[in-house]
Structure 1
């Protein structure tokens, strides 16, 4: 008998993958968690019925959260990752030798525990001495640590369950206050095919707080529609003013110095969302 997992991405559309086995399934204190082994994409982390990451395509998301912002900031020594308990963003952050300390604040300790066990390729740097792992509410951590971080990365699920408050204007104001005077933040902001209204709202909220706001994109096949956006808010530095010739080559699979500016070139229908006429 064949077993298939289907993520219902909208009321009328979904993606499906053939399953080898279910490695873990648990209702945590915050969400339903499963790790399944699929034929096409390998081991897959699923939270509340949504694909968070897979062994095959995880590098795209994790690289694109970390590297554009870290190559924009002039000297990112102290970095915060909100969410991201699978450890993939932390792994990419640590490729930057100038980062002295990376703090991960994940509300659900079970995500960390099971990622270490079943997704070691992704979570392998969570025990690095440059990393501090805190199991707590990222929203509260932001508001309790003012003027602390050079870069803040929000690696959240979609705005459901415990992640709802991570898409609110008050959270972005808290991020602004938690950043130093030249600080930059980035957040994943979903896809323009199904969540255009979300992208538009986040962009408007962030523009009311940060003087420089840019949206960029990447292709992630297991995420809804495959086209994914990220929103960067900066206090002083424009990512488009960075000289790509000064960006060092890192061991990446998606991000390159030549891609740094290119990802900010948006299709017109996405441009219309972030810069409505």
Structure 2
């Protein structure tokens, strides 16, 4: 059994630290750097970590890890996908690692799934270093488009049953994905009973952003719902997603169509909609 002193002596001193705010950081001890490049849009790094397996970092921010990726990908995908009774055509904006696509195509009704990712380097790095996440990108139903997702949405009106916005943090190329103008374009790209969902950051660390996004989506869609999941490597561990729906309500879902999940199930679907009081207050202000 390790003593505290022995543990310290046997560990390497190579660490990745994400400075999540001026007062908050997360550190992961890494074995080695697997990949590093400056793409036309952002810095892209892949590390091998002791605690969470391979780690994808964009502009210094944790995007995904081998160990906890399934929580984020399942929750962003399956809550809105099950809320829609028959999703056939789905668009994922961002999400170049392929995790959301992997979950989307688990739904037997899906005939077409488009990935609109602005940075092709993310797709290629994910195929190489995260094959279990990117595996769905080779499915014949999947159409990978290396394009500006905002422009793609503007150019494809009325085409999709579900649009999922798997953005990075609201900095750099992702800023426009958190705007009221973009949500209006998303609504136009959806069919009359369409649904959108987006990752919307931490209720502890990003309260002003959540208030604004919830309000903006609520002005565009008649039904707006915020729901939560626990993701260890994201700031504070509590993460929010915001859904906008034209017709269907997530609380009406009784059964789920997808069984091969590790986090999401019918009970979790209902439970994630039950908000702690401080989050209720956040979105009711």
Asked if 1 retains the 8 angstrom alpha-carbon contact of 2:107 and 2:258, the reply is no
Root mean square deviation of aligned Cα: 0.7
Corresponding residue for residue 50 of structure 1: 61
> What pairs with 1:68-87 in structure 2 (closer than 5 Å)?
68-87=79-98
3-state SS of paired residue (2:137): coil
Corresponding residue for residue 252 of structure 1: 261
CA distance in structure 2 between the partners assigned to 1:126 and 1:163 by the alignment = 22
Asked if 1 retains the 8 angstrom alpha-carbon contact of 2:203 and 2:210, the reply is yes
Aligned residue pairs, count: 274
Give the deviation of 1:12 after TM superposition: 1.2
Give the deviation of 1:197 after TM superposition: 0.3
Q: Which has the larger radius of gyration?
A: 2
> What pairs with 1:1-277 in structure 2 (closer than 5 Å)?
1-242=12-253, 244=254, 246-276=255-285
Question: Which one has a larger percent helix, Structure 1 or Structure 2?
Answer: 2
Asked if 2 retains the 8 angstrom alpha-carbon contact of 1:249 and 1:257, the reply is no
CA distance in structure 2 between the partners assigned to 1:19 and 1:57 by the alignment = 16
Q: Deviations over 1:163-221 (max 9, x none)?
A: 00000000000000000000000000000111000000000101111000000000000
CA distance in structure 2 between the partners assigned to 1:82 and 1:183 by the alignment = 15
Asked if 1 retains the 8 angstrom alpha-carbon contact of 2:98 and 2:133, the reply is yes
TM-score (norm 1): 0.98
TM-score (norm 2): 0.95
Give the deviation of 1:249 after TM superposition: 4.6
Moved over 3 A (4+): none
CA distance in structure 2 between the partners assigned to 1:241 and 1:256 by the alignment = 14
CA distance in structure 1 between the partners assigned to 2:271 and 2:265 by the alignment = 10
Asked if 2 retains the 8 angstrom alpha-carbon contact of 1:217 and 1:264, the reply is yes
Give the deviation of 1:2 after TM superposition: 2.0
Gaps of 5+ in 2: 1-11
Asked if 2 retains the 8 angstrom alpha-carbon contact of 1:248 and 1:257, the reply is no
